[in-house]
Amino acid sequence: MKKDKLKRYYTIGEVADMFDVSKSLIRYWETEFNYLKPHKNSKGDRRFTPQNLDQLQLIYHLVKEREFTINGAREEIKRLQKTEKEKKTMLARLESLKGFLEEIKTEI
């Protein structure tokens, strides 16, 4: 998949070409995966952001490359999101602990 780093939005045709899939499959995935929400203009045309492309890359990887079912891919995405949230929480705790230890160090 090749992304143009300067573009803010991609059409569904461009996205389908990037992933070498049909436009209808992109639309189907949009209905099946709640977290994939491309912007729509006043005519209802989908405009995919670079973030949407990353989401589609994950869906493509799970469904096409790792051969997950749609339900299995949904569950894997939920698991990955939960893991990411736990990592962020842990990093915040570690940053807080680091600040506390640095404060103690300066007092010693």
Q: How do residues 18-77 score in pLDDT, each as one tens digit?
A: 999 999 999 999 999 998 999 999 999 999 999 999 999 999 999 999 999 999 999 999
- State the pLDDT at residue 5: 63
pLDDT interval class at 108 (50, 70, 90): confident
Residues 79 and 98: their CA atoms lie apart, in Å, by: 28
Closest by CA to 77, choosing from 90, 93, 58, is 58
Average pLDDT over residues 10-22: 96
Domain map (residue ranges) of the chain:
12-107
Report whether pLDDT(78) > 70. Answer: yes
CA dihedral 75, 78, 79, 81 (to 10 degrees): 160
What is the CATH number assigned to the segment(s) 12-107?
A: 1.10.1660.10
**Angle, to 10 degrees, between the axis of helix 12-19 and the axis of helix 50-60?**
40
Q: Where are the alpha helices (DSSP H) in 1-108?
A: 12-19, 23-32, 50-60, 70-107
Confidence category of residue 6, pLDDT binned at 50, 70, 90: confident
Alpha-carbon distance 29 to 67, whole Å? 15
Checking if the pLDDT of 91 tops 80, the result is yes
